[in-house]
Amino acid sequence: MKRFLHIIIYIGLFFCSLPMMASGDGGKFTVVLDAGHGGKDPGTIGSARTNREKDIALNITLEVGRLLNSSNANVQVVYTRSTDVFIELGRRAEIANKAKADLFVSIHVNSLPKEAKHYASGVQSYTLSLKTVGTNLEVEKRENSVIALEGEAAKKYNYNASAESNIMYELMQDHDMKESVAFAKMAQNEMVRTGGRKDMGVKQANLAVLRLTYMPSVLLEVGYISTPSEEQFLMSKEGQRLMARSIYNAIASYVGQRTGKKVDPVKTDPAPAQVESQPAETAAPAAVSTPAKEAPTAKKTVYKVQVLAGSVKLKSNDKQFKGLKCEIHEKNGRYTYTYGSTATMDEAKKLRKSILDKFPEAFIVSFEE
C-alpha cells in the first residue's frame, strides 16, 4: 500500500511538472546540439590516433549550428560543448533541461570492436529504451562507458533504480517518446537520402545522455570509423558537411512541423553569388567603347561514387576497378577513385546502387566544377 501511494505521488508530481517543460527562450524553438565525447574522452578511434570521434562529432555539430543560425531566426541553438572539452553526461542533460529545450540531438560516430571479423557501414538513430535490448548492447556499453571517467559524479546515474523511480522515468520519457521517434525517423531518412549513407534503422537503447533529458531526444551514429571507406568519408570536410546538412534538414523539417513556420532545407552549400554591378546609364563619347566584362561562371555541384582510396596510384585498367571506368583524384599524396558523374543526388543514388554488387562499401561524394 505504501509503495502504491508513492507511485501515485510520483504520477501527480509528473503531471504537475508538465507545464514547466515548455519551449525555451521568448517563443523560439530551442535546439540543443550535443557533440559526443571530448577532452580526455576521445570516443572511438580510427586507423590513426588522430582520427577521433570527438573531433568528427564536434565539426559536424558546429556546422549544423551554423546552418541553423544562418537560416532560422525563430530557432535558438545551444551547444553542450563548442570546443574540445570533457563534459559529463549528466551535465550535458542539465544544459538541455535548463535551456528548456524543445529538441536534444547528440551526434556520435559508430565503431566495431578491433576483433570484429567484418566491416559494417551505415547510419543509425537511437531513442531511449529503459530496457536493455540485446542487439544494441555494444552501443550501450560504448556510449555509456564515459561514466567510468566521471568518478564520484557517476553515482547520480543510479542504474539500479527503484520501482517508483523507474515508473517516474517511464512516464516522463513516454511523454516525449513519440516525438523522439518522429524526429529519429526524419534524421535517419535525411542521412540516407541527403547523405547517401546505408540505412541501419531507428533503434532503441538505454543511453544515459538520453535518459536524463526531459524533451524529445535522439542520438545519431553518423557512420563507422572502424570501416576504412567510412573513416575516410567521416574524416573529410565534404563528408562532415554532408552529414551536417542531413541533420540540419531533419531539424528544419521537425521545427517546421512543430511551429508551423516553414524552414527550407539545404541541399548543397551554395557559393556566394558574384554579380557584376551595373552602373547607371550615362552618355559616353562616341569614339570610346568599353567592352563588357563577362560575369564569372557559377560553379556547379556534381555527384560521383567513390569506390576505392589509397596511397598508391592505380592504372586506369587495374583489375581492382572490376571493369569499371573510374576517375583518379589526387590530394596530398593520397588517391581516391570515383565512378560516374551526375547532376543530382537522386541520380547518384541510382548510380551507386548499380555497382553495389561490385563495391558494397561505395559511397557518394560531391565536387564543385
Question: Looking at residue 255, what is its pLDDT?
Answer: 92
How far apart are alpha carbons 170 and 161 in whole angstroms? 12
The distance from CA 94 to its chain's CA centroid, rounded to whole angstroms, is 21
How far apart are alpha carbons 204 and 218 in whole angstroms? 10
> Among residues 199, 200, 179, 210, which one has the least CA distance to residue 135?
200
Q: At what angle do helices 237-259 and 53-71 cross, to 10 degrees?
A: 50
Q: In Å, what is the CA distance from 116 to each residue of 96, 108, 113, 227, 266?
A: 36, 20, 5, 11, 37
Total Cβ atoms within 10 A of residue 13: 11
Question: Looking at residue 352, what is its pLDDT?
Answer: 87
Question: Looking at residue 144, what is its pLDDT?
Answer: 52
For residues 222 and 277, the answer to whether their CB atoms sit within 8 Å is no
> Among residues 312, 307, 304, 303, which one has the least CA distance to residue 361?
307
Output the nine-digit C-alpha cell for 200: 541501419
How far apart are alpha carbons 262 and 225 in whole angstroms? 35
Question: Could you read off the pLDDT tens digit of each residue along the chain, which spans 369 residues?
Answer: 444 444 444 444 444 444 333 344 457 899 999 999 999 999 999 999 999 999 999 999 999 999 999 887 789 999 999 999 999 988 898 899 899 999 999 999 999 888 887 888 999 999 987 664 443 444 444 455 554 555 555 454 444 444 444 444 454 455 578 899 999 999 999 999 999 999 999 998 878 777 778 889 999 999 999 999 899 999 999 999 999 999 999 999 999 998 887 767 775 443 232 222 233 333 333 333 344 444 455 567 788 888 887 777 888 888 889 999 999 888 766 788 899 999 888 888 889 889 888 887 778 877 777
Domain ranges of the chain: 16-259, 301-368
How far apart are alpha carbons 251 and 64 in whole angstroms? 9
Strand 301-310: give its sheet, edge to edge: 326-331, 334-342, 301-310, 363-368
How far apart are alpha carbons 177 and 181 in whole angstroms? 6
Question: Looking at residue 9, what is its pLDDT?
Answer: 41
Q: Where are the alpha helices (DSSP H) in the chain?
A: 2-17, 53-71, 89-98, 137-144, 163-193, 208-211, 228-235, 237-259, 345-354
CATH number listed for the domain at residues 301-368: 3.30.70.1070
Architecture of domain 16-259: 3-Layer(aba) Sandwich (3.40)
DSSP category for residue 299: P
